[in-house]
């Protein structure tokens, strides 16, 4: 082995080591942010009491606040953020568009329309005036969840069909198709709201705000299983995604069945995104922002970008939810609005400055 080859191997080892350190550092920050999020709120719980409660030795007040209320919310933020961000990273690869995500391809808007159908048609929403903090609840969450999932998946099916039927539409055309579908679903939601009564209207609006506290432990288990299965598939195809980053022709020359990888990946991404938003409502732009943040540290190597995006998405949603719960406590700001404020400037930046090949 020549001296030059040895030096190249050393540099490559350092290059990989930096990426692994970035992932480990991101995981550590996410863990610390999650512990802080569990302890902060209208009642701040000291770190020592938090640890005691997590190992089953806390007092009854801490047990109720942490185990029954805050911990499910933080776990929901981690799982939903990871799901949307990892799906967004893969969508951006297979569609060859850095603007692709569940919120820009109409999946979130389709889920909102489905939730409106579940609430209006199947009576899933109810107003409870007993308490000011829970004035509006979802009376039949599983009907609403199923309807949101089905309609959220329809948008991805249409996008996939367009990409296969219209071969020359290009990445930019697919985003425009997503915008059109978003407008269509938004119009349908508006009509349902226009013709429904105040009770169901309030439930629809409440669902579209996004609520990480609405998911039960059973819902989180379902989401965790779907996320784990999706991540396994994404990591199994990490080299295919790396090849597709260089273009379809290059990937085909390396033996990648680009059509099959694109169809299956988009199907899994649509299911993952639809499941996530169907449980907690509309969470905008996390799937767009998180992958681009991690690209600053891992580049376009999908061996590190997929798990890194999942970690970054989890961290973003945990931080956003913590801010929403603490800035004007005990009032909880809607998480969907906070993520929209975060993602809209990034979307505009990518659109006017950072988009290539669209």
| pLDDT, mean over the chain | 82
- Cβ–Cβ under 8 Å, residues 84 and 283: yes
What is the average pLDDT across 62-67? 78
Q: Hey, which residues does 137 pair with through a beta bridge? A: 126
Dist CA 291 CA 272 (whole Å) = 16
Question: What does residue 126 show for φ and ψ, rounded to 5 degrees?
Answer: -150, 150
- Cβ–Cβ under 8 Å, residues 280 and 159: no
Closest CA to 195 of 97, 119, 287, 90: 119
Q: According to the model, what pLDDT value does residue 270 have?
A: 84
How many Cα atoms are found within 13 Å in the side-chain-facing hemisphere of 239?
5
Dist CA 147 CA 115 (whole Å) = 6
Closest CA to 103 of 294, 270, 283: 283
Residue 132 has pLDDT above 80, yes or no: no
What is the average pLDDT across 218-236? 93
What are the distances in angstroms from CA 329 to CA 74, 149, 282? 17, 32, 22
- pLDDT confidence tier of residue 135, bands split at 50, 70 and 90: very low
Q: pLDDT for 138-171, tens place per residue?
A: 555 678 778 888 888 888 788 878 877 776 676 6
Dist CA 269 CA 275 (whole Å) = 10
Quote the pTM value.
0.86
Dist CA 294 CA 81 (whole Å) = 14
- Cβ–Cβ under 8 Å, residues 114 and 149: yes
What are the distances in angstroms from CA 312 to CA 20, 29, 102, 275, 335? 14, 10, 16, 19, 16
Dist CA 165 CA 161 (whole Å) = 6
Dist CA 162 CA 179 (whole Å) = 13
DSSP assignment of 129-143: TT-STTSEEESSHHH
């Amino acid at each position: 082995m020549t001296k030059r080859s040895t030096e190249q191997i050393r540099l490559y080892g350092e290059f990989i080591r930096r990426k692994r350190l970035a992932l480990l550092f991101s995981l550590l920050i996410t863990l610390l942010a999650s512990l802080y999020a569990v302890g902060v709120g209208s009642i701040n719980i000291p770190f020592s009491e938090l640890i005691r409660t997590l190992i089953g030795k806390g007092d009854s007040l801490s047990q109720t606040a942490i185990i029954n209320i805050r911990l499910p919310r933080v776990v929901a933020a981690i799982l939903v953020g990871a799901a949307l961000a990892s799906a967004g990273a893969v969508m951006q690869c297979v569609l060859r568009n850095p603007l692709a995500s569940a919120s820009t391809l109409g999946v979130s808007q389709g889920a909102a329309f489905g939730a409106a159908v579940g609430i209006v048609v199947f009576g899933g929403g109810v107003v409870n005036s007993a308490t000011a903090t829970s004035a509006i609840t979802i009376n039949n969450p599983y009907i609403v969840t199923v309807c949101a999932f089905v309609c959220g998946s329809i948008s991805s099916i249409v996008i996939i069909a367009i990409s296969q039927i219209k071969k020359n539409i290009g990445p930019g055309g697919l985003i425009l198709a997503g915008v059109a579908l978003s407008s269509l679903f938004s119009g349908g939601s508006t009509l349902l709201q226009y013709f429904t009564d105040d009770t169901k209207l309030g439930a629809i609006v409440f669902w579209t705000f996004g609520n990480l506290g609405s998911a039960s432990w059973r819902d989180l288990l379902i989401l965790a299983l779907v996320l784990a299965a999706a991540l396994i598939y994404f990591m199994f195809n990490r080299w295919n995604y790396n090849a597709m980053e260089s273009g379809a022709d290059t990937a085909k020359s390396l033996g990648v069945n680009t059509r099959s990888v694109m169809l299956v990946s988009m199907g899994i991404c649509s299911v993952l995104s639809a499941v996530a938003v169907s449980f907690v409502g509309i969470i905008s732009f996390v799937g767009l922002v998180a992958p681009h943040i991690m690209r600053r540290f891992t580049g376009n190597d999908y061996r590190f970008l997929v798990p890194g995006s999942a970690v970054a998405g989890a961290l973003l949603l945990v931080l956003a939810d913590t801010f929403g719960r603490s800035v004007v406590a005990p009032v909880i700001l809607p998480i969907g609005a906070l993520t929209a404020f975060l993602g809209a400037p990034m979307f505009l930046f990518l659109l006017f400055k950072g988009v290539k090949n669209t």
